[in-house]
Structure 1
């Protein structure tokens, strides 16, 4: 049998799926993708067009594999050790904001704006153009925005996210192997790549508490992701419950959404004192009788008796030993039939490791390691975690609502 010609297979797949996507854009009057400054910031594919999203993912995955095959193992092993240095310099010296979108500038203009000399500016900008499509230089010495730098210059949230990724996450990743060598198999959140990158003996949370400006920047990085509830309201029988506690619930966005939808349900939001004070001040007046705020450390015994204890993206911040303590501290308040809901990603099994969603989940898993010695978990690890915490927990399983990132993971207290 002749060997499979993988590059031809991939090329054909890319052509077929791209045609499907292009036909969809044409039929729905959606502009074709572009990296020009006035391009759409993201592709407008509605949730109802699941087949188009699948086609897009297939093209991206195939392009990645095809590039790897045509690069070859030896070349693939070469590490681009200058990859993001120009991007970090552009952000640090605000070169993306040195001229308005729709206008042009020069290396000299950027030099005057930033205080860096023209030679350095030229090298940084051209590196960013070639490696990251930052800016454009279609006429020698004349710089215009690309879609990427136009977005950075005009969208504070996007810009903040990239700053956090390069100033906080990237240095921690560089130091992760050093931390693993210094503190083998550690589950402590102050024995990490982040700790070493900051020349500290403190955890990331403690470092941010000591430096409020950094902490605020980090908080804004995740604020956008907290707006979506991942079909939690539709996919869980909240109408059958009388009370819930949102443990580590920040300003209460989830509890407020649940209370708005289910008028017979009372909600308590628990978090650190400053966060709780801010959340309480923002609570809509018509919910004051059904949503309350309470300062509480989830490493201390839970004081509130409720039907449901809800945790959103909490457990992936902690190693197993600490997650077990969190669960054990619920026991004093739990009554038979009470439920624990954990709402976060689950690492995919081997059968799904070739998907883009799997790549994102595994990248986040390693990210939690480098920042906090924490982790994302596979399906079987959730049952094990509840069992290790207390045999009175009965693990009920997990399901992922269609189109959602997070899974709804549930256990019942049997008393």
Structure 2
């Protein structure tokens, strides 16, 4: 008997594992996955059902491999150079916001809303429908929302993150090789960004505490524009730190034995707030850029104002607070080794005997130990840090 071919093996695996997920959905009276505007945004599989989670991932991986095998090398080598052009245009001209979820619209109405002519609206929207499931056109000329555009309408943060990815990260990606050619093996935080962004946006970046994140005074309009869309720093942190803010941290460190902590680069203080809420013995300090800590302080619950303090601080300058714990979440992956060393050295003057440093980062494992989906996600994050910051996932 002839051995089973890989494509048949994959197709059978897809059928078997899909049936497991389908059975789970039926047992919970959950709707089957779809891309309709009222579809589930994610499949709500409980953490304890590891077999169902594994089945879902197996289907995703097998479908990806089967698609590539059936496509073939020649077609796979065709570069999709128009791929995200329509998505960027949809977001830039707010076409997703031109009508409500549950409603329908026309190319003419979208044209009037956006100021684009009907021909350009039609070609942009149809490109987005066909390539990315943005909108639906079940009846010619009648546009409704899909699950994806409905999600954007309902979540400003999701929309902002996607805009930053397309307007800031994508241009950096296509210039990464140019930056590497100009400065081979550079560890400078701003050299990749200057090459990738300044060429495109004509922005000169400071080599200050934030490199990527600070702009010269004459670029304040661009700064406000970025902040209005979540800003690159916040977006990097959100994209590369998908886990809940303090997952595992509250239950797996002896905070009850401590009295003070400093969250260095702590953004709006979600970690410090979580610690202060659970452990009344703790006094927490959040250090970050001026505007960020100002926003955090403005949002701080009144009941914590005596135990959570926001402070402007450049972590390349000497630490001014003596504490039991210094916490760094998703900080060091933004910097090459020599700068990580400098950040840690600046703690030394403030360190007391017994002080602890917690470094909370994702770790890049050997890719051979991962599933294809996890390996792809891991290496994408690593190359992402290279293209943006000459940094790395360690």
TM beyond 0.5 = yes
Q: Are the structure 2 counterparts of residues 242 and 100 from structure 1 closer, same or farther at C-alpha, using a change threshold of 3 Å?
A: closer
Aligned partner of 2:208 in structure 1 is: none
Using the TM superposition, give the Cα deviation of residue 227 of structure 1 relative to its aligned residue in structure 2, in angstroms: 5.3
From 343, 366, 369, the equivalent of 2:383 is 366
Shift of 1:312: 0.7
How far does the alpha carbon of each residue in 1:326-384 deviate from its partner, in whole angstroms, 9 at most, with x for none? 0111122223432211112111213334343332232122122222222211xxxxxxx
The answer to whether the 8 Å contact 1:251/1:278 transfers is yes
Contact in 1 for aligned 2:204/2:215 (Cα 8 Å): no
| Residues 285-320 of structure 1 deviation map (CA, whole Å, 9 limit, x = unaligned) | 433443333332111122222222100111111121
Partner of 1:244, secondary structure, is: strand
Give the structure with the higher percent strand.
1
CA offsets 1:41-94 (integer angstroms, 9 cap, x no match): 222222232322222111111111111111111211111111111111111122
Q: 1:284 to 1:68 in 2, by over 3 A?
A: same
Aligned mates of 2:243, 2:269 — CA distance in 1: 10
Deviations 1:104-138 (CA, angstroms, capped at 9, x unpaired)? 22222222222222222222222111111112222
- The whole-number CA distance in structure 2 between the counterparts of 1:130 and 1:207 is 38
In the TM superposition, what is the alpha-carbon distance from 1:8 to its structure 2 partner? 1.9
Contact 1:135 1:143 in 2 (8 A): yes
Q: Which ranges in structure 2 are unaligned for 5 or more consecutive residues?
A: 206-210
Task: Assess, with a 3 A threshold, how the Cα gap between structure 1 residues 160 and 133 changes in structure 2: closer, same or farther.
Answer: same
Indicate whether 1:127 and 2:127 are aligned: yes
* CA root-mean-square deviation: 2.3
The match for 2:213 is 205
Normalising by structure 2, we get a TM-score of 0.88
Checking the alignment, whether the CA contact within 8 Å between 1:347 and 1:358 is kept in structure 2 is: no
1:367-382 to 2 correspondences below 5 Å: 367-377=384-394
Alignment of 1:1-400 (within 5 A): 5-192=5-192, 193-202=196-205, 203-207=211-215, 210=220, 211-219=223-231, 221=235, 228-377=245-394
- With normalisation by structure 1, the TM-score equals 0.84
Distance 2:381 2:91 in 1: 23
- Looking at structure 2, the residues matched to 149 and 285 of structure 1 have their Cα atoms a distance apart, in angstroms, of 37
Q: Is the 8 A contact 2:367 2:375 kept in 1?
A: no
5+ residue gaps, structure 1, are 378-415
Question: How many Å apart are 1:245 and its aligned residue?
Answer: 1.4
Distance 1:14 1:226 in 2: 28
Cα distance in 2 for residues equivalent to 1:248 and 1:265: 19
SS of the residue 2:75 aligns to:
helix
User: Cα offset for 1:214?
Assistant: 0.9
Could you tell me how far 1:217 is from its partner in structure 2?
A: 1.7
Aligned-pair CA distance for 1:26: 0.6
